[in-house]
């Protein structure tokens, strides 16, 4: 993977999470800052890298694999305790 492709993936991942952390929407200034940075890197990518990133982006829209049930329940803990607040099923 080239540095440009790595940078693009990192920026895109950062943008998608920061949007969620901000409640679903970034300010216009933040959005345009990300857009500008993404655009700069986009033109450094090869055609194959662009296609790979577009394909990945489609994949990330799909659910990621996760267990149906984590198999854990919470536990009461008191201040001063070193105990964990959850335990796993045996």
Partner 1 sequence: MFLVMQRVRSASGNDGINAFHYQHGPASWTDTAPADVPEPNRGSLVSQSVVVPPPGNRVRSYLDIAAPDDAPWEEIHRAFVRFLVAHGPAPLPWSGIQARCKFQVGLEQALAPRWRTELAALLHAGQALVLRDRSRPSGRAPS
Site residues for partner 1 per CB under 8 A: 9-10, 13-14, 16-21, 24, 56, 59-60, 62-70, 72-86
Closest distance to partner 1 from the beta carbon of 83 (Å): 8
Is the CB of residue 30 less than 8 Å from the CB of residue 18? Answer: yes
CB atoms within 10 A of CB 20: 10
Instruction: Select from 29, 2, 5 the least CA-distant residue to 18.
Output: 29
Is the CB of residue 75 less than 8 Å from the CB of residue 83? Answer: yes
Is the CB of residue 38 less than 8 Å from the CB of residue 11? Answer: yes
Closest distance to partner 1 from the beta carbon of 47 (Å): 22
SS3 23: coil
Closest distance to partner 1 from the beta carbon of 12 (Å): 8
Closest distance to partner 1 from the beta carbon of 70 (Å): 5
């Amino acid at each position: 993977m080239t540095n440009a492709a790595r940078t693009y993936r990192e920026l895109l991942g950062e943008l998608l999470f920061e949007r969620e952390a901000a409640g679903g929407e970034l300010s216009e200034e933040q959005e345009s800052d990300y857009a500008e940075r993404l655009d700069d890197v986009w033109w450094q990518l090869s055609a194959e890298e662009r296609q790979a990133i577009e394909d990945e982006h489609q994949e990330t829209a799909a659910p990621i694999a996760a267990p149906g049930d984590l198999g854990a329940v919470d536990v009461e803990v008191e201040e001063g305790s070193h105990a964990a607040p959850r335990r796993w099923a045996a």
